[in-house]
Amino acid sequence: MQSIPDPGRPVLRARLAVALIAVTPALGAAQSAVPPLGPARALAPIPNGDLVSGLEGWSQVGPTMTLVGGPIIEAGDNTTVIGPAFTVPPDAQSLPMVLGVPGSNALVDVRARPVQGGADIPLASIVPDRAVHSVDVGVASVRGRAVRIVLDPVSGLGRRLYVRSIGPPVEVLPGWTVTSGLPVVASRWGKRGLDVQDAALVATTAAFTPAARTRFIGVSVRGSGRISASVRGRTIRTSATPAAWNTLRFAVPPGIGAVRMAFTATPAPGERLMVGGIGAPIAATPAPKPGQKAPREVPEAR
């Protein structure tokens, strides 16, 4: 899937829905050892987001929008499709939608339109597949608000747009706080973690308690970009390299209780940044590998 850099607005690649979404029990006050990466949890569905009631709740700006077999919305002549109204759950982190645009060089703006009025809120610009596929969009900026999702094809005269469904919203990382960006759980370079593309991911883990006798916990990055991570008021920053994992290390005081790790992972333009080993126990600090920058620590405020 292709992306088009656009400063100030994330441009997302279409992502196939491969993660198993399951309803999980409520999390306790603190997870043991390391913060979990899922399983994802599907939240309340969008009313008629799956088109089972036809076009009820859907609307358009433009000349043509019809329901064809599937059911699937087929919109043509640069018609903007507007989904049903719903309230974004406060714990929603991702909004999947299934859509496609025939032809090449297609671009679709995804916005949230407040039900109570006001300007649309940009969520992402996406380059969808020609066939109908699942695309995930981050919704941290509109959680808790009543909105309609606006799908606006902005390139190609007469461009058709196919929409199969919107929602339900997903809590990708139960118990975490995602302030900005789209969390995507993946495995790469031998680690399971978060694959960050196109826009920064700003998140705070669920509370977790390091295992007994753990001296250091950390977070590792690899790819292209940079990360800033904080634990108990101490912040460390470093850059990533595609050649090897670079690990930030935080000392664990004896008898420490539950902690949270906050981080901002920013990929280089057009590149990917993998964040793995989040909160995992690690050994004493090694020397930086060739080509890596030594992590820079910001001392705790006094």
Q: What is the mean pLDDT of residues 91-115?
A: 89
Q: Specify the pLDDT at position 281.
A: 92
Count of domains for the chain: 2
Please identify which residue in the block is written with the tokens 């597949």.
129
Asked if residue 15 is part of any domain, the answer here is no
Same domain, 105 and 198: no
Asked if residue 111 is part of any domain, the answer here is yes
From its phi and psi, is residue 140 left (phi > 0), alpha (psi between -120 and 50) or beta?
alpha
Q: What is the mean pLDDT of residues 278-292?
A: 69
Structure-model confidence comparison of residues 183 and 127, the more confident one: 183
Q: Specify the pLDDT at position 84.
A: 98
Same domain, 72 and 130: yes
Asked if residue 30 is part of any domain, the answer here is no
Same domain, 197 and 221: yes
Burial grade of 118 (CB within 10 A; 0-12, 13-18, 19 or more)? exposed
What range does the domain containing 59 cover?
42-167
Same domain, 270 and 209: yes
Contacts of 89 (CB under 8 A, 6+ apart): 43, 44, 143, 144, 169, 171
Same domain, 159 and 183: no
Same domain, 124 and 160: yes
**pLDDT per residue over 27-66, tens digit each?**
344 555 789 998 999 999 999 999 999 999 999 998 899 9
Domain-terminating residue out of 125, 145, 167: 167
Domain-terminating residue out of 167, 202, 217: 167
Same domain, 197 and 240: yes
Same domain, 159 and 69: yes
Asked if residue 127 is part of any domain, the answer here is yes
Q: Which of 107, 101, 156, 155 is nearest to 133 (CA)?
A: 101
Please identify which residue in the block is written with the tokens 């595609």.
242
Q: What is the pTM of this model?
A: 0.81
Q: What is the mean pLDDT of residues 83-99?
A: 97
Same domain, 149 and 216: no
Asked if residue 13 is part of any domain, the answer here is no
Same domain, 155 and 188: no
Same domain, 103 and 219: no
Report the CATH number that the domain containing residue 233 is assigned in CATH. 2.60.120
pLDDT at 171 over 90: yes
Same domain, 292 and 265: yes
pLDDT at 10 over 60: no
Asked if residue 64 is part of any domain, the answer here is yes
Report the CATH number that the domain containing residue 60 is assigned in CATH. 2.60.120.430
Q: What is the mean pLDDT of residues 272-289?
A: 81
Q: Specify the pLDDT at position 38.
A: 87
Asked if residue 97 is part of any domain, the answer here is yes
pLDDT at 295 over 60: no
Report strand pairing: 201-204 vs 177-180.
antiparallel
Domain-terminating residue out of 136, 167, 198: 167
pLDDT at 110 over 90: yes
Asked if residue 152 is part of any domain, the answer here is yes
* Distance separating the N- and C-terminal Cα atoms of the chain: 47
Please identify which residue in the block is written with the tokens 């060089």.
105
